Amino acid sequence: MSFEISAGRIVRGGRFARPVPRTDHERRQSDYARRVGATDLATLGIAVAIAQAGCVGESSGALSVGLCYTALSLVLVAAWSVGLTLAGTRTLRAIGGGTEESRQVVAVSLKVFGAVATASMMLDLGISRSYLIVALLLGGCGLLVERALWRGWVARRRARGAYRAALLVVGNPEAAQAMAATFARDPGQGYEVIGVCAGDGGPRTVLAVARATGAEAVAVTRTDTLERDDFRSLAWELDELGIELLVTPSLVGIAGTRLTHRIVADMPVLRVAKPRYGRSKSIRKSVFDFCFALIALAAIAPMLLAIALAIKATSSGPVFYRSERIGRDGRPFGMFKFRSMYVEPEVHIEALLEPGEDPRLTQVGNLIRRYRLDELPQFLNVLRGEMGIVGPRPQVRLPGDPVTGEVSGGLLMRPGVTGLWPVRGRSYLTPEDAMRLDLSYVENWSALLDLLMIVKTIGAVSRGQAL
């Protein structure tokens, strides 16, 4: 395989690199990126226009350098949009990335406005601070909402079978089947497994199968038939066909934020860093959890009183009950809940064989469980320092174990009232998937992630969806 450089482009075998895009999958991605870019520009334009009209108005005159605010607004929108582009927030790798995409958008917005504010002070431009603050808040929030709407649109399309790339999995039979099952469990990533190839025969076999199946992406996992040089050859050949190549390092349970890519002796190496949840993050999260729980309890106090009176009036027994859970560092604690069952539920066991609602639940209990109102007293656990607002799921002590039968990174953090596990479908997750989400949350924690989980939980509960 020969290469040469011509006019700044890589030429392979005397031919220029293929035009982009080429496959339907690439066309869909490029079309999506263009739509996101256009709506980004419109969102920023509206936000800056509102900030100018509300904080500056027509009577403000020009800035100290003779530049009018309309021209400044145009420059600000252009700089903001260019910043989003240069930071890679509109690349095919970043868009649709959920929390990571939001984090990048927020980071770029803060950098752009930091640069503008610094330039205003150093050059004495006299830019209105209220104008900048309002533009930042409106534009930043607008971008987050807009990107979330686009991700929701794509998710709905993918749920109907559209906007998915046909994926061919390559690897040893056991590893390939495991990877295929992983992609099948997460269709939101936009891949649909159409076949599994053992890779016998090397890159030529993989290419032949990819052509025959019409694959738009190839995912390679653990395999004994492809050597290092085979990957290089396979990458070039797949690029010629416009087929995306995915390679998994088979690192299970390792968060992406802990992986750093390096080249050692022309060989790609992944360095695994230590978990990022340290003392400083723990303190910030504790302060956030305590303040949020205090405000929430003050706001919902009338509702809590009404639920307590309804429970006491409709069935005998205590208003609350405490269920033992395992908290941070393996310490047990009593998790508060409103009582939703009769005090002696065993008298209703026979009725469980009949179809219908659980007869052990009281009338009030059935209602508060549907909307998860029985879990509101857990804010008291947050104030006591036993739980967090968002976190890993509260674990149950397993029989015969002194602490817990599960070894989980979740024990590094207080369990949460909500988290990734209920938002992603608590009733349908396997124990392995729930554990994986716990580890992902601990290693990728951020205040933004907590806010997103809180908003999603409130939205799901308000619609009466079971979490």
pLDDT 10s digits, 74-120: 989 999 999 888 887 776 555 556 667 888 888 899 999 988 888 88
The rounded distance, in Å, linking the Cα atoms of 277 and 411 is: 12
Say which residue, 340 or 464, is predicted with more confidence. 340
Choice among 3-7, 339-343, 350-354 with the minimum mean pLDDT:
3-7
Contacts of 255 (CB under 8 A, 6+ apart): 275, 276, 439, 440, 443, 444
Has residue 19 been placed in a domain?
A: no
User: Higher-confidence residue: 357 or 204?
Assistant: 204
* Of the residues 250, 266, 296, the one at which a domain ends: 250
Task: Find the range with the poorest average confidence among 17-21, 211-215, 275-279, 404-408.
Answer: 404-408
For residue 197, the model assigns a pLDDT of 84
In angstroms, what CA-CA distances link 332 with 277, 292, 395, 404? 22, 23, 9, 9
Q: Phi first, then psi: give them for residue 39, nearest 5 degrees.
A: -70, -30
Model confidence at 166: pLDDT above 80: yes
Report the distance separating Cα 17 and Cα 240, nearest Å.
8
Question: Do 196 and 153 fall within a single domain?
Answer: no
Same structural domain, 243 and 307 = no
State residue 386's pLDDT score: 92
In a domain, 12, yes or no: no
The residue with greater pLDDT, 263 or 168, is 168
CATH of the domain at 220: 3.40.50.2300
Query: Which residues pair with residue 244 across a beta bridge?
Result: 217
Per cent of the chain over pLDDT 70 is: 72
The number of domains in the chain is 3
Same structural domain for residues 369 and 436?
Answer: yes
What mean pLDDT, rounded, does the chain reach?
77
pLDDT of residue 380: 95
3-state secondary structure of 324: strand
Note whether 33 and 62 are same-domain residues: yes
Residue 55: pLDDT over 90: no
* Global confidence as pTM: 0.57
Sign of CA dihedral 402, 404, 406, 408: negative
Residue 467 lies in a domain: no
One domain for residues 439 and 304: yes
The pLDDT of residue 18 is 46
> Is the same domain home to 454 and 313?
yes
Which residue matches tokens 């205090």? Answer: 294
Name the pLDDT band for 63 (thresholds 50, 70, 90). Answer: low
Q: What's the pLDDT at 3?
A: 37
Per the domain annotation, does 412 fall within a domain?
Answer: yes
Taking CB atoms within 8 Å and a gap of at least 24, the contacts of 110-116 are 110/136, 111/83, 112/76, 112/79, 112/80, 112/83, 116/76, 116/79
Does 337 reside within a domain? yes
pLDDT score at 40: 93
Please indicate, yes or no, if residue 124 is contained in any of the structural domains. yes
- Give mean pLDDT, residues 150-170: 82
Which segment of 158-162, 245-249, 423-427 scores lowest on mean pLDDT? Answer: 423-427
Same domain for 150 and 177, yes or no, is no
Predicted confidence (pLDDT) at residue 407 exceeds the cutoff of 50? no
Residues 77 and 138 in one domain: yes
pLDDT band for position 242 (cuts 50, 70, 90) = confident
Higher pLDDT, 407 or 301: 301
**pLDDT value, residue 90:** 74
Identify whether the C-beta of residue 158 lies closer than 8 Å to the C-beta of residue 25.
no
* Domain end residue (candidates: 113, 139, 159): 159
Range ranked top by mean pLDDT from 53-57, 140-144, 224-228, 235-239: 140-144
Exposure string (b/e) for 334-366, b if CB count within 10 Å is 16 or more?
ebbbbbbbbeeeeeeeeeeeeeeeebbbbebbe
Q: Contact at 8 Å (CB) between 378 and 336?
A: yes
75-89, 347-361, 400-414: range with highest mean pLDDT? 75-89
Split at pLDDT 50, 70, 90, the class of 125 is confident
Same domain, 96 and 110: yes
Mind giving me the DSSP string for 244-259? EEEE----TT--GGGE
Amino acid present at 9: R
In a domain, residue 195? The reply is yes
Q: Between 136 and 410, whose confidence is greater?
A: 136
d(CA 365, CA 367): 5
Q: Band of the pLDDT at 408, cuts 50, 70, 90?
A: very low
Residue 309 identity:
L
Across 318-333, average pLDDT:
87
Which residue among 203, 232, 250 closes a domain?
A: 250
Look at residue 376 in the predicted model and tell me its pLDDT. 93
Question: Which pLDDT does position 269 carry in this prediction?
Answer: 67
Residue 41 has pLDDT above 90, yes or no: yes
10 within domain boundaries: no
Q: 396: pLDDT confidence band, cut at 50, 70 and 90?
A: confident
Query: Burial level of 371, CB count in 10 A (0-12/13-18/19+)?
Result: middle
Asked if residue 182 and residue 42 are part of one domain, the reply reads: no
Highest mean pLDDT among 81-95, 232-246, 391-405: 232-246
Domain limits for position 244: 164-250
Cα(238)–Cα(439) distance, rounded to whole angstroms?
34
**One domain for residues 99 and 238:** no
Place 16 in a pLDDT band, splitting at 50, 70 and 90: very low
**Cis, peptide link before residue 355, omega less than 30° from 0:** no
Tell me the pLDDT band of 4, cut-offs 50, 70 and 90: very low
How many alpha carbons lie under 13 Å from residue 91 in its C-beta half-sphere?
Answer: 9
Residue with the larger pLDDT of the pair 197 and 296: 296
Same domain, 185 and 83: no
